[in-house]
Structure 1
Amino acid sequence: MTLIPNEIRRRPGDPERPEPVVPAAAGEPGSSPKPTRRQRLSLLDRTVSPYLYVLPFFLVFAVIGLYPMLYTGYLSFFAWPRFAAEHGRAVGWANYEYVLTDPVFHKALVNTIGIFLLSSIPQIIIATVVAALLDTGLRGRSWWRMSVLIPFVVAPAAVALIFGSLFADKTGLVNDILTGVGLPAVSWHGDRFASWTAIATMVNWRWTGYNTLILLAAMQAIPRDLYEAAAIDGAGALRKFVHITLPSIRATLIFVVVTSTIGGLQIFTEPRLFDTNLQHQGGANHEYLTLAMYVFNTANSATNPYPRAASAAWLLFLLIVAFALVNFFVTRAVQRRSAS
């Protein structure tokens, strides 16, 4: 049988068949050139540089963040001093039992949760509303956006001095206003709920603008076409805010809620500086002693200070994780419900 070449067997009108391409050997004409040194460095820069850029943060975090946290967890199971022959022995969960049964710790726990609720919830609500107002066609928007950050720039000590004068028990401006309208004066340092309110006011005044700018940045990233389409359908401003703005900033809102939770449960500076008589360490009867202040006071006590302070610090850490997870899941569920 005689083999007929393809060129002869192909009839007129048939499509041309591409000839198979045989890869050229290295070094032969038509082979891909060997990458140059600059190309190799460019590839190395794209693959390795991102890790080198973030490496310093993780190194610093490991030294001043992760290691102290792990060491306090280790120290909480021992007596103090750790390496002394007569005291450096393992005590198991004794330090945790002491902290959990301490009445002062119970007061600090209630105070911390109370101040957290009075500060974080109004703070997030006000920040969201103010961010929505700044996202509209407001005159002088740049000036208003910069002005909301001014309280955050003020030093915490200055904030405490200002609000300490406002909420002074006898000569404070707030009490002068209350007595001027016929209401009784409030003992801001002696009444438990009043002290929570004063400290939460300081926290809200300082951090609301910061959270406002974060939420505003998320709102500005929302496509304007969504609002225009909603306006054509007859949606009002409130309906746009509920059905477009809030679902679109869900991730940012969850971030703000989690960070506010962490900061609210770790509050230390405001109640510490609010205490005009520092030897009380949170009020004469611990009216506004927080968990962070309890850790500080325990570390400066006379009996087994650092292990008990480490135990209290880990209990505070677990409380923050629990609240952050609850806030995360609740916020996500609410946002999903509003989006649907």
Structure 2
Amino acid sequence: MVSLDENQKKVQSKRFSSEEMKNILSGYLYISPFFIIFAIIGLYPAIFSLILAFQKWNGLGEMEFVGLNNFKVILSDPLFWKSVYNTIILGLMGTAPQLVVGLVLAFLLNLTYLRFKAFFRVTIFMPYITSMVAVALVFSVFFSNNETALVNYLIGLFGFDPVNWKTSEWGAKIAISTMVFWRWLGYNTIIYLAGMQSISNELYEASKIDGASKLQQLRHITIPLLKPFILLTVFFSTVGAMQLFTEPTVFLGNTAFARDEAMTVVMYLYRDAFKLSSFGTASAAAIVLLLFIVCASAVNMMLTQGFGKNRRGR
């Protein structure tokens, strides 16, 4: 009887283990499409780009190993450092203000006594889902070099001379950063708004009883509890700013790669790869850009770690 019971237990354990294995395999099969697509679209190009960074290749012939020469070429190129400078300036001008303004707009849209909330929320989010072609056309008209263009007309009312927005150094930067600000403001506002709606109203009611103003509520309740959402938007905004490509390309049109007023790092590596057929230096620029993104993200995350913390002991 003892041996029979042991055999039954072994059979049951094998059956359970086989069912458990089937469940594990079925789970992996369900999630396998994501990993397959990621390996083809994401992982393979990244590995291939890393290999190309140490090769000389025009896209058609045989590869030639050149070691660190591609990195020496781009790091000694003044245009590359100009693109780094442009990327940082455009990121600060177009991305940093939208985080602050988005936080204020989200706070206003979350007010209980505000009317037509749905209309304002949809209106603010509309630029994010608008086609970039339409955005480029609209801003090309607004920032046209003509004296009768909307922006030139407005600054003319204050006594300023018309600006050649697409050819001047700071004119192009202001126009492109304004486009970035307008397009991505609603995205960050909606994220902040979703975070604010997760905060309990009891905290605001208690602070109201203690005599706290709206500004004090924003400073001592909303911002500290929104810290995870602020860190998320700072991280995404930093990565997006360092990868800026679409806005300057569509705004400047055919002359985007011919001048350096608004050339970003991504535009620089795109020019090397698809305009000059130098895939080695383009891949090296991509590796350097990755390092810049990691460093910039780490610095921003450290700077925002203490953002919104209440000071105690006073």
TM-score by length of 1: 0.81
Residue 191 of structure 2: which of 206, 211, 214 is its match? 214
Give how far 1:44 is off: 7.7
The 5-angstrom pairing of residues 155-194 of structure 1 reads 155-170=131-146, 171-194=148-171
* Contact kept? 1:82, 1:89, Cα under 8 Å: no
> Which residue of structure 2 lines up, in the alignment, with residue 315 of structure 1?
288
Q: Secondary structure at the match of 1:226?
A: helix
Distance 1:92 1:337 in 2: 51
> 1:117, CA displacement in angstroms?
0.2
Structure 1 equivalent of residue 9 of structure 2:
none
Distance 1:250 1:51 in 2: 35
SS at match of 1:99: helix
Q: Does 1:297 align with 2:274?
A: no
Which residue of the partner structure matches residue 113 of structure 1?
A: 88
Alpha-carbon distance, 1:289 to partner: 0.7
User: Retained in 1: the 8 A contact 2:58–2:278?
Assistant: no
Are 2:53 and 2:284, in contact at CA under 8 Å, matched by a contact in 1? yes
Unaligned runs of 5+ in 2: 6-11
Q: Mark the CA change 1:76 to 1:42 in structure 2 (over 3 Å): closer, same or farther.
A: closer
Match of 1:148, SS state, is: helix
Query: Retained in 2: the 8 A contact 1:116–1:265?
Result: yes
Superposed counterparts of 1:1-340, under 5 Å: 54-81=31-58, 84=61, 88-137=63-112, 138-170=114-146, 171-276=148-253, 278=254, 280-282=255-257, 284=259, 286-302=260-276, 305-336=278-309
The 3 A distance-change label for structure 1 pair 105 and 239 is same
In the aligned structure 2, how far is the partner of 1:140 from the partner of 1:52?
Answer: 47
Q: Could you tell me how far apart the structure 1 residues matched to 2:28 and 2:156 are?
A: 62
Report the Cα distance in structure 1 between the residues aligned to 2:43 and 2:302, rounded to whole angstroms. Answer: 26
SS of 1:234's equivalent in the other structure is coil
Deviations 1:138-167 (A, max 9, x none): 112122212211111110111011001111
Give the drift of 1:50.
6.7
CA RMSD of aligned residues (A): 2.8
Q: Unaligned stretches of 5+ in structure 1?
A: 1-25, 27-33
1:57, distance to aligned residue in structure 2 (A): 2.7
Q: Distance in 2 between matches of 1:44 and 1:219?
A: 43
Give the C-alpha shift of residue 255 in structure 1: 0.3
Q: Distance in 2 between the 1:212 and 1:323 partners?
A: 23
Contact 1:247 / 1:339 at 8 angstroms: preserved in 2? no
1: CA distance between counterparts of 2:27 and 2:120? 37
How far 1:232 moved relative to its partner?
Answer: 1.6
Note if contact 2:219-2:308 (Cα within 8 Å) is conserved in structure 1. no
Is the 2:224–2:307 Cα contact (8 Å) retained in structure 1?
A: no
Structure with the higher fraction of residues in helix conformation: 2
2:8 alignment counterpart: none
Matched pairs, number: 301
Partners of 1:243 and 1:338 within 8 A in 2 = no
- Cα distance in 2 for partners of 1:175, 1:308 equals 40
Q: Which amino acid aligns with 1:156?
A: M
Letter in structure 1 aligned against 2:142: L
**Cα distance per residue 1:242-282 (max 9 Å; x no partner):** 11101101011100010011111111111001114x1x334
TM superposition score normalised by structure 2: 0.87
Say which SS state the counterpart of residue 267 (structure 1) adopts. Answer: coil
